Amino acid sequence: MREITVPSQTLAVQPAISFIESPSDTCYKPDPTQDACCTNWYYNSVSASPDYNYHDADHQLGGHRGQDLGVFPGVGACPVQQLGEGFKVLCGALGSGGNPDLGATHAWTIRVRDSAGLSSANYGTVYCPFHGP
C-alpha cells in the first residue's frame, strides 16, 4: 500500500512528491547457526518538485527504526549501503510466518517528508529464511 499526504495549507497546489520506490526487500541469514536475519532493500527512492531539497526518510520494521536525512536536488535515493546490514530480526521457525517453506514475516514502513511538508509512505512485508534443522 502507498500513500501521499499533503498539508491542508497546500491543498490548492497539486502534490509534488512521488510514491516511494523500494524494490527488492530482502531478508537474509548471514550466519546459518544463529536465529538472526538481516532485512534490507536494494534502494529507496522518491522525487519531489519543483525545488524541494530536504528528504527525511524514516524506515521502520517491527520495533526497529532507522533514519536517513539528506539534501537532494529533487530526487532522493537511499542506497542499501546507507542502512548497513539492514535491520536485524528473528528468522523464525519453518512455517512461522504462514509460508510452509520460509520462516518469519516482518512488516515494514518507509515514510519520507520533503522540505515543503509533503510526505509519502510505502508499506510491505518481507519473508525470511527459516532457522532450524
**Contact between residue 13 and residue 7 where contact means Cβ atoms under 8 Å apart:** no
pLDDT of residue 79: 52
Task: Note the CATH number of domain 2-8+16-127.
Answer: 2.60.40.10
pLDDT, average across residues 21-45: 87
Q: Which residues pair with 37 in a beta bridge?
A: 89
* pLDDT of the residue at 86: 79
Residue 50 preceded by cis peptide, ω within 30: yes
Of all helices (H) and strands (E), which one includes residue 2?
strand 2-5
Reported as a single tens digit per residue, the pLDDT across 75-132 is: 555 555 556 777 888 999 999 999 999 999 998 888 877 777 788 888 889 999 999 8
In the chain, where the domains are located: 2-8+16-127
CA angle, residues 85, 111, 92, in degrees to nearest 5: 45
pLDDT per position as a tens digit, 48-57 = 776 555 555 6
